Homo-oligomer: A and B are copies of this chain.
């Protein structure tokens, strides 16, 4: 015990904070899945109390002292000798995190937390009642807080960069604008063709299956993808999610209704993508930044990879229908494939198909940049939203409920978050392209349910690195190509036969 190095001492502190953070995740999981309704009052207090303790610990002078013994917070020069490259990378990340955490004054963090709680409640009510004007003053306050937040964090070019960096480290408006422009142009070209094609019938997707049978089937998907019950469990919640307590205790959920079995299946696949990533993070680095996921964009790339690139392809539908025989009267592969891959204009992002999904994200990205730099006033948001919907989809939401009030994100101050959904699809497309090169029998592997070689490749090229590399470097190293919309557009054109 006496011979602990400064680095080991720092890791102890990191592990302590991390253990507390993982408790918050469990409290959130329990809230959505298990908690009796009346537990909510105490749960809010528990989470707030613990979060405050964590923030204090992460910004404490004791932590600063332990960190400074390993690395200079001014010059970022490593002080401790004999560290491995990975340990040095870990120190740099820890120093970066600490400096970020210190930038937001405690008083501001507390105010923001209160505003989030208030504003998300107001938003839920405003959405239900379709009264944007009730949410407007809260959104105005939130945007003012976001600007303040960007100022505290600091940025070189656009205040949006400061917010973006919280979710996708080192990503900038400059890069996004370039990549998203290509993406948007390409997607509109594709939808111009697809929106005019006739729609396949969707009845095959609404065959009734009992709650228990759906849950059992979805749990078997976890097993198929190698997620053993010893490290992962699937339950139900109103919105699907994946909370990793840590790499050996992962809680997934799906949402089950009698007529929406396929939603349950594809939500499960999506969350399995997240779970596989979490399960594959380097266990030995658990508690330090190296044991954490790289970014939200990379995380989303893993979920979208399994949900759409694998899940919505014909080989997987073959595999799926073979498992569904006996559970469904109609398991016609072609009909199911067509129904699952219907592309059409839609109002609601989370219900949209794989082609239009990123267009929904574009609407939000463009609007939130303008809200943040003041070129769009909150009161004009509904109009601006509807104009973009008309432009990209050719349809106008019947009400704000199906328009600018549909997502919870802004009420929670999650500005800069939406782009990571689109980035996830782009990253996934690049990985998918590369995987087909590495495994020319990709389709055969999927059709026969042999996902191991695919997951192994993701393990050695994505999962194992944790936060060691930036998102950009991680994807470039894995695919030998820089971030680009091309592989995604190519994938869509080829799959949907748009020349």
Contacts and interface: CB of A to CB of B under 8 A. Distances in A.
A49 B19 contact: yes
A36 B246 contact: no
Contacts of A46: 19-20, 22-23
Given A20-B49, A49-B20, A38 B233 contact: no
Number of this chain's copies in the assembly equals 2
Given A19-B46, A39-B248, 13 more contacts: A15-B45, A19-B42, A20-B46, A20-B53, A23-B50, A30-B30, A34-B233, A37-B231, A39-B231, A39-B249, A42-B248, A42-B249, A43-B249
A23 B21 CA distance: 13
Given A22-B42, A30-B30, A42-B22, A248 B50 contact: no
A250 interface: yes
Interface string A26-41: 1100100011111101
Interface string A42-61: 11011001100100000000
Interface of A: 15-16, 19-20, 22-23, 26-27, 30, 34-39, 41-43, 45-46, 49-50, 53, 229-233, 245-246, 248-250
A233 B36 contact: yes
A126 to B, nearest CB: 26
Contacts of A36: 229-233, 248-250
B26 A246 contact: no
Contacts of A23: 23, 27, 46, 50
A250 B39 CA distance: 9
A15 B30 CA distance: 21
Contacts of A37: 229-231
Contacts of A15: 45
B38 A231 contact: yes
Interface of A is mostly: helix
Residue of A16, A46, A230, A233 ringed by the most chain B CB atoms within 10 A: A46
21 contacts: A16-B49, A19-B42, A19-B45, A19-B49, A20-B46, A20-B50, A20-B53, A22-B42, A22-B46, A23-B27, A23-B46, A26-B27, A30-B30, A36-B229, A36-B231, A36-B250, A39-B246, A39-B248, A42-B246, A42-B248, A42-B249
Nearest to A250: B36
Contacts of A246: 39, 42
Nearest to A16: B49
Contacts of A232: 36
The 5 closest A-B pairs by CB, nearest first: A39-B249, A38-B248, A37-B230, A19-B49, A38-B231
Contacts of A53: 20, 53
A49 to B, nearest CB: 5
A54 to B, nearest CB: 10
Contacts of A34: 34, 233
Contacts of A245: 39, 42
Nearest to A43: B249
A250 B50 CA distance: 21
A156 to B, nearest CB: 39
A260 B53 CA distance: 45
A22 B46 CA distance: 8
Residue of A36, A41, A46, A233 ringed by the most chain B CB atoms within 10 A: A36
A231 B38 CA distance: 6
Nearest to A52: B16
Contacts of A20: 46, 49-50, 53
Nearest to A26: B30
A39 B39 CA distance: 24
A249 B230 CA distance: 27
A229 B169 CA distance: 43
A104 to B, nearest CB: 22
A32 to B, nearest CB: 13
Contacts of A43: 249
A476 to B, nearest CB: 33
A43 B42 CA distance: 21
A52 B229 CA distance: 31
Residue of A34, A232, A233 ringed by the most chain B CB atoms within 10 A: A34
A52 to B, nearest CB: 9
A408 to B, nearest CB: 24
A441 to B, nearest CB: 32
Contacts of A248: 36, 38-39, 41-42
Nearest to A44: B19
A248 B37 CA distance: 9
Nearest to A33: B34
A231 B41 CA distance: 12
